[in-house]
Amino acid sequence: MKQLSQIYTVLLLITLLSGCSTFNYYTQAIRGHLALTMAGKPVDRFIASETTSPELRHKLILSRQARHFADRRLGLAPGDAFTDYVALDHPWVVVSLVAVPEFSLQPHQWCYPILGCQAYRGYFHLEDAQREEQRFLTKGYDTFIGGVTAYSTLGWFDDPLHSGFTNLDNDPMVA
């Protein structure tokens, strides 16, 4: 709980410096990540369950092997990352919004503390992305919203595996 209050303190400071829409964006990001994390159940439970499909069981076993390989052969300490699994009710974990001024090839840039600037903004709920998209459409921008199947906090938190990953095709040559 202390970590959560620290996150909200940082959000308050960001809001004072950059406005309400930034605060709303970071709030949805934190809530979305926490909801994803809290929905996770141990991978081992899914592997042991008779109701788990053989295909999912195989992919979850493969994820365990990948964690082991990362730890033993690459020297990457995975901590508790990818030890829980979440079955999502849609094929993506987040959606990404891209906005480009009409007749331009240079997309709008969103800038984030520590991370720098990116040409997209991710949302856990499609409706949030669509609201932001409407703001850009009224300014004459061309926009695109696309589902993203991969999600990671790059080691900052213990991310769960999710069906966005496990529903991907096994054939790496399939586009």
Ramachandran bin of 51, using left for φ above 0, alpha for ψ from -120 to 50, beta for the remaining angles = alpha
pLDDT at 175 over 70: no
* Residue 87: closest CA among 126, 123, 128, 59: 59
Q: Could you tell me whether strands 161-162 and 84-86 are parallel, antiparallel, or unpaired per DSSP bridges?
A: parallel
Question: 80-132: per-residue pLDDT in tens?
Answer: 999 999 999 999 999 999 999 999 999 999 988 777 899 999 999 999 999 99
Which pLDDT score is estimated for 17? 46
- Paired with 85 in beta bridges are 41, 161
Cα 32 from Cα 151, distance rounded (Å): 12
pLDDT at 165 over 90: no
Whether 41 contacts 47, CB under 8 Å: no
* Residue 94: closest CA among 70, 72, 63, 127: 127
- Threshold 0.75, pTM exceeds: yes
pLDDT at 143 over 50: yes
Which pLDDT score is estimated for 172? 56
Question: 6-46: per-residue pLDDT in tens?
Answer: 555 555 555 544 445 577 888 899 899 999 999 999 999 99
Question: 36-64: per-residue pLDDT in tens?
Answer: 999 999 999 999 999 999 999 999 999 99
59 exposed, middle or buried (CB, 10 Å; 0-12, 13-18, 19+)?
Answer: buried
* Residue 93: closest CA among 47, 134, 152: 152
Cα 111 from Cα 146, distance rounded (Å): 20
152's tokens: 């990671």
- The percent of residues in the chain predicted with pLDDT above 70, rounded, is 85
Q: Any residues with CB less than 8 A from the CB of 144 and at least 6 apart, and which?
A: 97, 98
